[in-house]
Structure 1
Amino acid sequence: MKTLTEFKQSLNLEKPDNGLPVQLKSLWYDGKGNWHQAHAQVDQLNDTASAWVHAYLHRKEGDIWNADYWYKRAGKKRPDISLEDEWEQLVLQFI
């Protein structure tokens, strides 16, 4: 996948592409409305890229304290944009 449009189109599939990096798999599951599966993809990872996705997921969940913890681990600050815009920014970061 090379574009945001292609990634969004892949949400029509039953499963994510096996070749996706874990961060994109997480965002794919989130895009399908499966927060728990999205969280499971990055929950045990300690790299900064996964921490950024993890932060977004906790922000979406409404657990702001936990989100801020993960944003800090990712070297980021919680953005003042919509969740949809952040999701798209994350996808674009990892494709």
Structure 2
Amino acid sequence: MKLKPAELSAALDLLEQGDWKAAHEIVQKDEASPLSCWAHGIVHLMEGDMPNARYWYREAGRAFPAKASIPDEIRTLKESR
């Protein structure tokens, strides 16, 4: 199921607030769209689960950030929508 723009925005707002668990509940509904996969990767960065984060970055077609600046990743994703 593809996320609606408002759902992705809500997930990104939750990520900015540090609530990766609530964001995960939203983004895991969409395992196909690159933006949702990227957000899913950020969720796992925040969680500290690097293997899962790498997987979702691959699914999103994105390079895994060598030095993961989570705020920068969230900002770049928001600008990409």
Please indicate the TM-score interval, normalised by the length of the shorter structure: 0.7 to 0.9
Number of equivalences: 76
Query: Counterparts of 1:80 and 1:22 in 2: how far apart (Å)?
Result: 28
Q: Secondary structure at the match of 2:62?
A: coil
Q: Secondary structure at the match of 2:78?
A: helix
Please identify runs of 4+ aligned residues in structure 1 that moved more than 6 A.
Answer: none
- TM-score, structure 2 as length reference: 0.81
> Is residue 2:75 matched to residue 1:88?
yes
Query: Aligned partner of 1:22: which letter?
Result: E
Tell me, which stretches of 5 or more residues in structure 2 are unaligned? Answer: none
Q: Give the conservation status (yes or no) of the 8 Å contact 2:16–2:71.
A: no
Identify the residue that residue 38 of structure 1 maps to in structure 2. 23
Higher Rg of the two aligned structures: 1
- RMSD of the alignment, in Å? 1.7
- TM-score, structure 1 as length reference: 0.70
Identify the residue that residue 28 of structure 1 maps to in structure 2. 13
Q: Give the conservation status (yes or no) of the 8 Å contact 2:37–2:59.
A: yes
List aligned pairs for 1:1-95, cutoff 5 A.
20-46=5-31, 47-81=33-67, 82-94=69-81
